[in-house]
Amino acid sequence: MTDDRNAEAAHEGDDRGTRGTAATKPRYGMAAIVAFMTRTAWHVRKSVLILCLLEGVAAAGTGILDLFVAPTILGTIERHDPLSTTVAAVVAFTAGLMLCGALTGWVEMNTLFGRIEVRMSLLRRISGKQASTSYPNTLDTRFNEAGAKAKDCCASNQSAGEGIWHTLATLLTNVLGFAAYLTVLSGLDLWMVVLVLATTVASYALSHRLNAWGYRHRDEERRSKKRLRYLFDTGTGRDYAKDIRLFGLGRWIDELWDGAMRVYRGFLTRREGIYMWANIADVALTAARNGIAYAYLIAMALDHGLTAARFLLYFTAVTGFATWMEGILDQCSQLHRQSIDLSMLREFLEWPEPFRFDDGEPLAKASDDHYEIRLDGVSFRYQGADRDVLHDVNLTIWPGEKIAIVGLNGAGKTTLVKLVAGFLEPTEGGVLLNGVDIRRYNRRDYYELFEAVFQDFSVLDATVAQNVAQRVDGIDPVRVRRCLNQAGLSDDVAALPHGIDTQIGRQIYEDGVELSGGQTQRLMLARALYKDAPILLLDEPTAALDPIAEDAIYRRYRDMAAGRTSLFISHRLASTRFCDRILYMEHGRIVEDGTHESLLAQGGRYARLFEVQRHYYETDADVAGRKGDDDDAR
Ligand code: ADP
């Protein structure tokens, strides 16, 4: 069920992203992007800019020397110059060509690492933005889509984030070559120049129009590839291995793959058909241009005594001139495409932050660690949703209070906790810390007040101790062990081959151990305790535990929460008896608020739900109680 949802989400996200791309115009044009990349290279590695200039000049030098070499040598022979003049010309051209070739080779060898470094610096900025952006952005499909595209821009040596340097160098080569060849052609009839210009522009315009088809349809291609990649990953991934063997999932995936492949093949066939016409048009226009140039130059040779050397020079210039022009137009459109991609990257880096970080007020630590959090008329609606999830919630969490939040699925419990923790911004109302709206503070300082266990785990492939302390150096092993003990994981960790230094996970370490869901949840609990923050948030911290382990955690709960304020979401009402106050939520509202006893006496929804669960918990608690007593005795 979850897997199906993921699959749908992947496609939906893709479609949304496509529409988003088609609808949004890039904010930055070519000049702004070239300036942005130049600034980036200037800060990261200046040599990239110098080498880019040299690459352009060296390649243009080769092209210009190529134009003159044969006509010049032929000229010395035609004019019956002394042999030494011919030899000198050959030597000079050879030396010049060798110099340009050597320079080109040297630049190619030395520019790669600098360009990669600049690209990596962009990637670092992208991942930095993703890691530190305001939490609501991480829920925004447009933000995530823009992030994925920004990463695509820096994915390889050919991507816009690195390819732009080659484009700029090639553009420079073509501009220099164009200027040199134009100077030569100015010695010819003006009509010849116009003819060359006109046929080149026509051929370019046509091929550009047809080639642009591929670019316009790149999202269609991306979508096809994404579908194929998703199916491939699903079919080969470990997550689905059991279901593939147990159900007909393998056959189903094959059918989906065939369907996706058919769509992709159809796209490629359409594209190749269109590109074929671009090539045919280009060949026809080139043949026309060269034919007319030949006829004109032959007429000049016959009627006006044009020498063989000049004939060769002009003919090379006519055909070469078109190549330079095409080069300029090609590189401009390449630069245009890369600018669109890089504009997306830049827009992503500048994506607005709804929260204040370094520009917010620093949050001074309260000397007594007493923090009062108040939700003042808070309503909340997720982006894109058509109704509020929380409605006008007023709640004060007093310092040191232990609050349980209960209610059926979808009541808004997790959302409420996320608002308290400052992950979401209320649509209406505000969250106040000791009477001050938290929007004023640096949000990172605010997060320092919380330790938490959420439903989704974030365990890295690293040691147990590192996962608890969230660092590599400066880990306090005594504190790690104490927290593992509080979280009820000491015995399990002691049984591991290297205790707290055992590697978890097998993605990086072949001999890493894999923890069960319950063990991972307790590891997350130990991590929360290690942070030793004044407010503890627990979002169903025992959902993956068996009833005995769960009860053991509840028994320790008072200890864990001692000296802290705590907010505790639970489905199991038996656990709430350890709390000072219980909030019962329904449809985004707190409908009952009181102690376990007062709510039972009230005989409302909490009491009814408790009654439903009572039998189950009595049975579990009896068993667990006995086990818990055994644990305590040990
Ligand atoms: P609970 O924790 O009580 O089960 P939640 O706070 O997780 O409830 O969810 C409350 C409502 O908000 C549900 O209807 C859920 O579908 C919706 N919701 C939760 N997360 C999101 C999200 N990221 N985007 C849109 N709706 C969401």
pLDDT for the residue 4:
37
Paired tokens of 77 = 């022979």
> Which residue's CA lies nearest to atom 7 of ligand 1?
414
pLDDT for the residue 285:
84
Note the CATH number of domain 3-349: 1.20.1560.10
In order, the DSSP letters of 461-529 are SSBHHHHHHTSSSS--HHHHHHHHHHTT-HHHHHTSTTGGGPBB-SSS-TT-B---HHHHHHHHHHHHH
- Whether 286 lines ligand 1, by a CB cut-off of 6 Å, is no
d(CA 297, CA 571): 91
Q: Cβ of 72: how many Cβ atoms within 10 Å?
A: 18
Length of the chain: 634
- Which stretches within 532-604 are classed as H helix? 547-561, 596-602
Same fold: 356-449+535-617 with 458-532: yes
Average pLDDT score over residue span 567-583: 83
**pLDDT by residue (tens digit) across 417-427?**
999 999 999 99
pLDDT for the residue 277:
80
pLDDT for the residue 615:
65
Paired tokens of 208 = 């550009």
Q: Please say whether the structural domain 458-532 has been given the CATH code 3.40.50.720.
A: no
* Vertex 55 angle, CA 51 and 60, to 5°: 150
d(CA 302, CA 12): 70
For the cut 50, the answer to whether the pLDDT of residue 626 exceeds it is no
- Whether 409 lines ligand 1, by a CB cut-off of 6 Å, is yes
Nearest ligand 1 atom to alpha carbon 585:
3
Q: Give the pLDDT band of residue 157 (cuts 50, 70, 90).
A: very high
Nearest ligand 1 atom to alpha carbon 588:
10
Strands 589-594 and 450-453: what pairing?
unpaired
d(CA 572, CA 582): 12
- Do the beta carbons of residue 379 and residue 391 sit within 8 Å? yes
pLDDT for the residue 282:
80
Nearest ligand 1 atom to alpha carbon 418:
6
Average pLDDT score over residue span 540-549: 71
Strands 373-380 and 581-586: what pairing?
unpaired
Closest CA to 515 of 547, 548, 487: 487
Q: What is the pTM of this model?
A: 0.75
Q: Whose structure tokens read 């920004």?
A: 150
**pLDDT by residue (tens digit) across 202-246?**
877 877 777 678 778 888 888 899 999 999 988 888 778 877 777
Average pLDDT score over residue span 83-101: 94
Q: Where are the domains of the chain?
A: 3-349, 356-449+535-617, 458-532
**pLDDT by residue (tens digit) across 280-334?**
888 888 888 888 888 888 888 888 888 888 888 888 888 888 889 889 988 998 9
Which of 389, 393, 417 to mutate for ligand 1's pocket (most ligand atoms within 8 Å of CB)?
Answer: 389
**Mean pLDDT score of the chain, rounded to an integer?**
86
356-449+535-617: CATH class: alpha beta
Distance 425 CA to ligand 1 centre (A): 15
- Whether 139 lines ligand 1, by a CB cut-off of 6 Å, is yes
- Do the beta carbons of residue 490 and residue 484 sit within 8 Å? yes
- Whether 386 lines ligand 1, by a CB cut-off of 6 Å, is no
What residues contact residue 510 under an 8 Å CB cut-off, 6+ apart? none
Distance 410 CA to ligand 1 centre (A): 6
pLDDT for the residue 265:
95
**pLDDT by residue (tens digit) across 100-109?**
999 999 999 9
Distance 411 CA to ligand 1 centre (A): 8
For the cut 50, the answer to whether the pLDDT of residue 20 exceeds it is no
pLDDT for the residue 611:
86
Q: Whose structure tokens read 């034919």?
A: 291
What residues contact residue 120 under an 8 Å CB cut-off, 6+ apart? 154
Phi, psi of 198 (to 5 degrees): -65, -45
- Whether 417 lines ligand 1, by a CB cut-off of 6 Å, is no
Buried/exposed 7-22: b ≥16 CB within 10 Å, e otherwise: eeeeeebbeebbeebe
Distance 612 CA to ligand 1 centre (A): 24
Average pLDDT score over residue span 160-170: 97
d(CA 578, CA 561): 10
pLDDT for the residue 616:
62
- Whether 384 lines ligand 1, by a CB cut-off of 6 Å, is no
Average pLDDT score over residue span 41-68: 95
Distance 49 CA to ligand 1 centre (A): 50
For the cut 80, the answer to whether the pLDDT of residue 475 exceeds it is yes
pLDDT for the residue 519:
86
Average pLDDT score over residue span 577-592: 92
